[in-house]
Amino acid sequence: MKIEGLDRLYRKIARLHNIDIKPIIEDATIRVRDEAKMRVPVDTGELQNSIDYNVDISAKGFTGKVFTNKEHGLYVELGTGPKGEASHIGISPEIKPIYSPSGWVYYDTDKQKFIFTNGQPARPFMYPALHDNREKISKFIQEKVQRKIEEASK
């Protein structure tokens, strides 16, 4: 028995193996990063400007990560103290923060005085940037991968 076109099929399969998915994952990750930058509350712009991304490659595939290296990003995302505990709608359901049950005093060097605070409410920007766009991102990746497959199988 002879199967016609088998060699052509093998060549197409070989081309599929060489499809580079990393740029697609990178584009999707950039979209999430840009959304986080649009959502973050801005005072000086330091936190907004610190939001970045990277794409890791492992045996399991590609992982796009959006992050900030600013410690106060976590406080903005999750809130702090009694105010954070009272108002943390929109944070990831996977995170269970433990909030300080009472306020505290800190020294404000600009104002040259001690200030009492009950913390701040959560103002999530990272989690919603992905969560609220997960269907769009998934569709974007699907369409781009499908296009690459179609191009490779011509």
Q: How do residues 6-58 score in pLDDT, each as one tens digit?
A: 566 566 666 666 778 899 999 999 999 999 999 999 999 999 999 999 999 88
Q: How many domains does the chain have?
A: 1
Domain span at 104 = 6-152
Domain assignment of residue 1, yes or no: no
Residues 6 or more apart whose CB falls under 8 angstroms from that of 135 comprise none
Domain assignment of residue 102, yes or no: yes
Average pLDDT, the chain: 90
- 61-74 pLDDT, tens digit each: 889 999 999 999 99
Calpha distance 122→74 (Å, rounded): 9
Calpha distance 22→33 (Å, rounded): 16
Domain assignment of residue 145, yes or no: yes
Domain assignment of residue 70, yes or no: yes
Domain assignment of residue 17, yes or no: yes
DSSP assignment of 66-86 equals EE---THHHHHHH-BHHHHHH
